[in-house]
Structures are given as structure tokens and as C-alpha cells.
Amino acid sequence: MNTASPLIAASRVSQIYAGRDGSPTWALRDVSLQIGRGEFVCLIGPSGCGKTTLLHLVAGFVTPTSGTVSFAGKPIAGPGPERVVVFQEYALFNWMTARQNVEFGLRTRGLGRKERRELALGALERVNLRHAADRYPHELSGGMRQRVAVARALVVEPEVLLMDEPFAAVDAMTRQALQEDLLRLWQEIGISVIFVTHNVDEAAFLAQRVIVMGAHPGNIRADLAIDAPHPRDRGSAEFAGLYAVVADALATHTRRAS
Ligand SMILES: Nc1ncnc2c1ncn2[C@@H]1O[C@H](COP(=O)(O)OP(=O)(O)OP(=O)(O)O)[C@@H](O)[C@H]1O
């Protein structure tokens, strides 16, 4: 990572929510993190450790209770096309075709109809879905819908993709295909990716760096460099080693005090 000029920098960030009984919930406490351009980072940790909160702070959906989150050296003040989110559920509009869904990402650009259409078709081509441009979401498989969601995110040419368990709702084989596609796109485009997952295999397969988070309060417990080239072979001894490193860190750093 190029620590001299991080793309994203969180500095002593805390996020407190009011619990049902009025007591504070520290979704994040004193989190500092730097992410460089082009990095592929996975956030992993148990439920409630603040992974989504951290992603939403970078997306600009929420502002931290204290501390700062900056992008390219400037404090993040709200959402922006340079930071787009891909959600777990297929957040597509059912009444729009795949192409229209992708075009929706361009609605604020002031582009002409033809240009919007061409950009959308180009983005669908990137995810191998050009042929399905005129289909509606209910005519697509779960994996295809998630590809459309990725195309809609990429069409605005963001600098970072923020992915919140994007492949959790599809079957295991589709999930692996989507992971391979994502790595290909990441390598082709040179974009940064922050990817939330609960899945050790997914983190070991994708990430250059795995941030292990723990809950109560939500914070960073370990920051692991996964120093192995892509593509990674799940059947290899090297991959078994990477898996073990992530699994051990998760077990060690997120164990609850008994
Ligand atoms: N809007 C909110 N209001 C109140 N509490 C919230 C809100 N959003 C999150 N929290 C709480 O903050 C903590 C962190 O939530 P967050 O969703 O960021 O965790 P997570 O690691 O993404 O969890 P999961 O893996 O289950 O999605 C949890 O205790 C959660 O209940």
C-alpha cells in the first residue's frame, strides 16, 4: 500500500447509535485505516462488528460521530460517483430492463439518450451480459442480477467499489464465478475494492489485504497482508495456507471473553 497518499483514510473514527433502551451502541470505536489506490481489501468479522457501518461511512451515507473519513485527501461529505456501493440483495428496479437499470446510474450525468444507452451496453458487455440487456430482473438468474448491479456501479467509472456481501445470496458455484469475474474486472480497470464478507474462503480467494474486525465495540483487530498472486487455486496447498491464516486471525481476534 502507498501510505504516502492513501485513497481512503479513516482517522480515529467512532460511530455511536442509540440503542432501543437509549444506551449507546459503539458500532465503531476509534478506527483508523488507510486504503491505497487499486487495493482489494476484505472486511471480515462477526455480525455487528461495524463492517457495514464502515462501508457506509466511506460511501458517505452517514457521517461519523467523531473522527474523519477522507477520500483522496478530502473529507467525505456525502455520496459521490467516485465511491459506489453494490448491495447484497439485488437492488434492481423490477420494472426496468437490465439496460435501463444500468442507465439509471447515469441519470444525473446530463448525457444524451444515445450516449447513455451506449455506456450502459458497454458496462453490460464488461460483465458478459450484453445479450441480456432487454431482459427484466425476473427473467435473470440471481448471479445475472448481481452482474447487472456491478455493471450499474461500474458505468459511472468509480474509483472504489464498496461491496456489502454482494454474493451472499447466490449458490456456491455462482458465487465462485462472480468472484472470478470481479477479480478480472478489478485487474482490467485498476479500481479499488472494499468488500465485506463473513466468508473466510471468499476473503482468502479475493483479498490482497484482510481487515479482521471485532464487536463490542466495533474495531479493527488485525490487518493481514495476503501476499499471493491472483488467480488463486482453491485446490493448492498455498490456498489452504491463506485460508488458515485468515481463519486463525478471525478465531483469535474475535473470540468473546468468557
Ligand atoms: N441505524 C442504526 N441504528 C442503531 N443501531 C445500529 C444502526 N446501524 C447499525 N447499528 C448497530 O451498530 C452495530 C454495527 O452494525 P453493522 O451493521 O455496521 O455491523 P456488521 O458488522 O455489518 O453486521 P452484519 O455482519 O450483521 O451485517 C450493531 O450493533 C448494530 O445493531
- Amino acid 258: pLDDT: 39
Q: Which CATH fold topology does 8-82+162-256 show? A: Rossmann fold (3.40.50)
At residue 215, the 3 state secondary structure works out as: coil
- Amino acid 2: pLDDT: 46
Order the strands of the 74-75 sheet from edge to edge.
Answer: 24-35, 8-18, 66-71, 74-75
Q: Ligand 1 in contact with 48 (CB < 6 A)?
A: yes
Mean pLDDT, range 38-60, rounded to an integer: 96
Q: Ligand 1 in contact with 28 (CB < 6 A)?
A: no
Q: At what angle do helices 142-154 and 113-126 cross, to 10 degrees?
A: 130
Residue 3 predicted with pLDDT over 60: no
Question: Atom 12 (ligand 1): residue with closest C-alpha?
Answer: 27
User: CA Rg, the chain, in Å?
Assistant: 19
- Amino acid 256: pLDDT: 61
User: Do residues 213 and 44 make contact, with C-beta atoms less than 8 angstroms apart?
Assistant: yes
Q: Ligand 1 in contact with 17 (CB < 6 A)?
A: yes
At residue 235, the 3 state secondary structure works out as: coil
Q: What is the pLDDT of residues 120-178, one digit of tens each?
A: 999 999 999 999 999 999 999 999 999 999 999 999 999 999 999 999 989 999 999 99
Q: Ligand 1 in contact with 65 (CB < 6 A)?
A: no
pLDDT band at 22 (very low <50, low <70, confident <90, very high): confident
Give CATH 3.40.50.300 domain extents, the chain: 8-82+162-256
Q: Ligand 1 in contact with 220 (CB < 6 A)?
A: no
Global pTM reads 0.94
Q: What is the pLDDT of residues 179-225, one digit of tens each?
A: 999 999 999 999 999 999 999 999 999 999 999 999 989 999 999 99
Mean pLDDT, range 2-15, rounded to an integer: 86
CA distances from 108 to 84, 105, 158 (A): 14, 8, 14
Q: Ligand 1 in contact with 218 (CB < 6 A)?
A: yes
Q: What is the mean pLDDT of the chain?
A: 93
72-76, 119-123, 252-256: segment of lowest average pLDDT = 252-256
User: Do residues 219 and 177 make contact, with C-beta atoms less than 8 angstroms apart?
Assistant: no
Q: Ligand 1 in contact with 50 (CB < 6 A)?
A: yes
Question: Atom 5 (ligand 1): residue with closest C-alpha?
Answer: 17
Q: Choose one of 14, 29, 44, 52 to mutate for the ligand 1 pocket test, by most ligand atoms within 8 angstroms of C-beta.
A: 52
Mean pLDDT, range 22-26, rounded to an integer: 88
29-43, 102-116, 160-174, 187-201: segment of lowest average pLDDT = 102-116
Residue for cell digits 430482473? 137
Question: What's the residue count for the chain?
Answer: 258
Q: Where are the alpha helices (DSSP H) in 20-138?
A: 51-59, 98-104, 113-126
**Cα(54) to centroid(ligand 1), Å:** 10
Q: Ligand 1 in contact with 52 (CB < 6 A)?
A: yes
Strand runs (DSSP E) across the chain, as ranges? 8-18, 24-35, 40-44, 66-71, 74-75, 83-86, 160-164, 192-197, 209-214, 219-225
User: Do residues 83 and 59 make contact, with C-beta atoms less than 8 angstroms apart?
Assistant: yes
Q: Choose one of 53, 199, 250 to mutate for the ligand 1 pocket test, by most ligand atoms within 8 angstroms of C-beta.
A: 53
- Amino acid 19: pLDDT: 81
